[in-house]
């Protein structure tokens, strides 16, 4: 469900998605978005009027320092970067390789991000990175997988970002006169369904799936049960 948060066209509630056994993801519990730095003043007020109880910022220290959101440093916001400051730049040539590199290098940080969703006692948790596509997409996909949402529905939700961020990508391409750089820009800014499919296959083949990966990162049975209770109506 799209949210009317002016400045953040990619903000949406994943509530309403169905699990494989026919249950429903609750509305007003898990919201995904691009960085809230883009909110207009009206958008900030819309968030403040909403049932949001926690904002989970997945960006790194430098990103946050360069572009704080209106909620950075407030009790509402929690930082959970998915890379350690000591990690090198990923240096990977494709978005799939970059994402799987992050997953393999820091499973404990991805597990901590999912645990933050599970641990919030009430209200909605907003998960965001910069564009709200890859880091956000992986964390949301992991959470929805634990809740039992089928892969095709998880991938379809991820793919919704492509249309919402298409004007943003078009503006960035138009602002870059060196067209030789455009393929790389598209590679890391577009949101293709096959990218998430490949990332999920990696988790299946290397770890045995999303749940096994999160357990590898440190989540317990109690954490996973609490997440399901939070998400499933």
- Catalytic annotation on 8? no
CA distances from 4 to 10, 49, 98 (A): 10, 12, 31
Residue 212: HSE in the Cβ half-sphere, 13 Å Cα cutoff: 9
The one catalytic residue among 11, 58, 129, 224: 129
Residues 6+ apart with CB under 8 A from 42: 6, 7
In order of 93, 110, 210, 231, the CA distances from 226 in angstroms are 37, 16, 16, 9
d(CA 162, CA 183): 16
Residue 85: name the closest of 68, 116, 114, 64 by CA: 64
**Which residues are known catalytic residues?**
129
């Amino acid at each position: 469900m799209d949210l009317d948060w002016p400045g953040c066209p990619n903000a949406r509630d994943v509530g309403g998605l169905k699990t494989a056994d026919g249950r429903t993801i609750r509305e007003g519990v898990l919201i995904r978005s691009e960085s809230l730095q883009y909110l207009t003043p009206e958008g900030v007020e819309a968030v403040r009027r909403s049932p949001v109880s926690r904002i989970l910022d997945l960006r790194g220290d430098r990103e946050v320092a360069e572009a704080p959101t209106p909620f950075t440093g407030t009790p509402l916001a929690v930082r959970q970067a998915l890379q350690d400051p000591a990690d090198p730049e990923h240096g990977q040539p494709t978005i799939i390789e970059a994402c799987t590199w992050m997953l393999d290098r820091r499973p404990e940080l991805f597990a901590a991000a999912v645990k933050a969703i599970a641990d919030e006692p009430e209200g909605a948790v907003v998960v965001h990175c910069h564009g709200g596509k890859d880091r956000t997409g992986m964390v949301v996909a992991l959470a929805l997988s634990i809740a039992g949402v089928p892969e095709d529905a998880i991938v379809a939700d991820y793919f919704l970002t492509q249309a919402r961020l298409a004007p943003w990508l078009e503006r960035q391409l138009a602002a870059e006169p060196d067209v030789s750089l455009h393929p790389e820009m598209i590679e890391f800014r577009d949101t293709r369904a096959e990218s998430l499919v490949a990332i999920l296959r990696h988790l299946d083949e290397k770890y045995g799936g999303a749940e096994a990966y999160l357990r590898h990162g440190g989540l317990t049975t109690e954490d996973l049960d609490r997440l399901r209770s939070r998400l499933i109506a």
